[in-house]
């Protein structure tokens, strides 16, 4: 007899009011019976790539609009490059 592995359940996205309205996704793992939350843009990009992103990789919004999390508007970049891009964008304002 083989047991079917239970798939993780995904809930959301939800707006996180404490983070300026950025979207969060909640993932429930029935095997461990634990939930975790992640940034929705990161979740979408990981799903598209078929792999988890290490902590030194960030998901960047190409148009700098944090509320536009369409997969075509997301790119993976190193944390240092993402911070530099954000600093450059803030200088222009």
Q: So what's the pLDDT on residue 1?
A: 38
Report the sign of the C-alpha dihedral through residues 24, 25, 26, 32, in that order. negative
Q: What is the CA radius of gyration of the chain?
A: 16
Within a domain: 2: no
For residues 23 and 10, the answer to whether their CB atoms sit within 8 Å is no
Residue 59 host element (H or E): strand 57-61
Domain that holds residue 33: 9-92
The band of 3, judged by pLDDT with boundaries at 50, 70 and 90, is: very low
Q: What is the pLDDT of residues 25-56, one digit of tens each?
A: 999 999 999 999 999 999 999 999 999 999 99
Q: How many domains does the chain have?
A: 1
Q: What is the pLDDT of residues 62-80, one digit of tens each?
A: 998 888 889 999 999 999 9
The mean-pLDDT minimum among 2-6, 8-12, 23-27, 71-75 falls in 2-6
Within a domain: 3: no
């Amino acid at each position: 007899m083989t047991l079917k592995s239970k798939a993780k359940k995904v809930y959301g996205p939800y707006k996180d009011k404490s983070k300026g309205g950025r979207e969060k996704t909640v993932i429930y793992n029935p095997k461990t019976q634990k939930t975790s939350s992640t940034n929705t843009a990161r979740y979408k990009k990981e799903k598209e790539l078929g792999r988890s992103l290490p902590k030194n990789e960030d998901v960047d919004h190409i148009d700098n609009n944090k509320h536009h999390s369409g997969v075509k508007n997301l790119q993976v970049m190193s944390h240092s490059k993402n911070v530099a891009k954000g600093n450059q964008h803030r200088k222009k304002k």
